[in-house]
Structure 1
Amino acid sequence: MSEQYFATGQCLCGNVKYTISSAPIRMGQCHCDHCRRLSGTGHSSNAFFVKDAVHIEGETSRYDSTADTGTIITRYFCPNCGSRLFGTSSANTNIISVTAGTLDDSSWFKPNAIVYNKRKPAWDFMDENVPVFEDMLPAQVQK
């Protein structure tokens, strides 16, 4: 009997693979300085899941940085090919973000919010129907 997953994905070289057992609790795009530098483009696109729903196979490396809110953001990447795969936050240790570009099929991905819009480059065009926040989501929206 084969197991069904909500989603699967991997890094560029295939050394790190993951399966996700349930739908995301939130999806978004971020234009903060860290996400722009991390992605090498105008934003980062992420789907957020309950951590227990994501099963990771393979070794990852990590990089910690401090957000403007004082929260520690840990980003995980493949030590072989450098693909950025996941992220966690010290503000909510039960949530993990998955970089949408590493999903095997991302056709279901639809951002619920665009954050740090004040940092968005003029050349990075976004869906005008998605709610926009100049900074991070307010706490009541994140839940």
Structure 2
Amino acid sequence: MLRATEEPLRISICHCHACQRRTGSVFGVQARFRLESVVIRGQATKYVRTSDSGGTGTFYFCPVCGATVYYQLEGLDDVVGVPIGGFANPNFPAPQVSVYEECMHHWVTLPDGLEHEA
């Protein structure tokens, strides 16, 4: 179980191949929180994966259902990433930024107003 005690630092859509494989979808949507603002309880299974940029991310999964609960990226030790779907809240704020768009499927349409990072 994970609970955030603060608003996210950033909410993003990632189109990289690693996120596509991790989610089984065409992109991942996640929120980043300060590590000290996240309360994590329960057990998790850990998997280290290499990103498209060559850095590593440590992903923590529910050992019962296999869902990604949270992850930490190499070099961002004070930040926790959480897939938005894990909150099961249709009122969760919309993403602010879209990354790795060079991997984006041609039929994906993004909402207006997103920042586009190279």
2:34 corresponds in structure 1 to 50
- Give yes or no for contact 1:63–1:75 (8 Å, CA) kept in 2: yes
TM-score with structure 2 length normalisation? Answer: 0.91
- 1:51 partner letter: L
Deviations along 1:75-129, whole A, 9 cap, x unmatched?
1111111111211011110000010001042513221110000001123222132
Unpaired stretches in structure 2, ≥5 consecutive residues: none
Native 8 Å contact 2:20 2:28 kept in 1? yes
Give, as a single letter, the amino acid of the residue that structure 1 aligns with 2:108. Answer: D
Amino acid at match of 2:116: V
Query: Which stretch of structure 1 is more off in the superposition, 28-37 or 62-71?
Result: 62-71
On the 8 A contact 1:47/1:109 being kept in 2, the answer is: no
Matched residue SS, 1:93: coil
Q: Is the 8 A contact 2:18 2:50 kept in 1?
A: no
Pairs aligned (count): 118
Measured in 2, the distance between the counterparts of 1:110 and 1:41 equals 18
Question: Separation in 1 of the partners of 2:10 and 2:104?
Answer: 20
Q: State the distance in 2 between where 1:105 and 1:67 align.
A: 27
Pairing 1:132–2:116 present? yes
Is the CA contact (8 Å cut-off) linking 2:13 and 2:95 kept in structure 1? yes
C-alpha distance in structure 1 between counterparts of 2:24 and 2:100, whole Å: 16
Answer yes or no: is 1:93 the counterpart of 2:51.
no
Q: In structure 2, give the amino acid aligned to 1:60.
A: A
The answer to which of 60-69 and 45-54 deviates more is 60-69
1:75 aligns with 2:62: no
Q: Which residue of 1 aligns with 2:25?
A: 41
CA distance change for structure 1 residues 19 and 48 in 2, over 3 Å: closer, same or farther? same
Q: Name the Cα RMSD after superposition.
A: 1.4
- Separation in 2 of the partners of 1:97 and 1:106? 18
Per-residue CA distance 1:33-65 (angstroms, 9 max, x = gap): 010111111100000000111111111111111
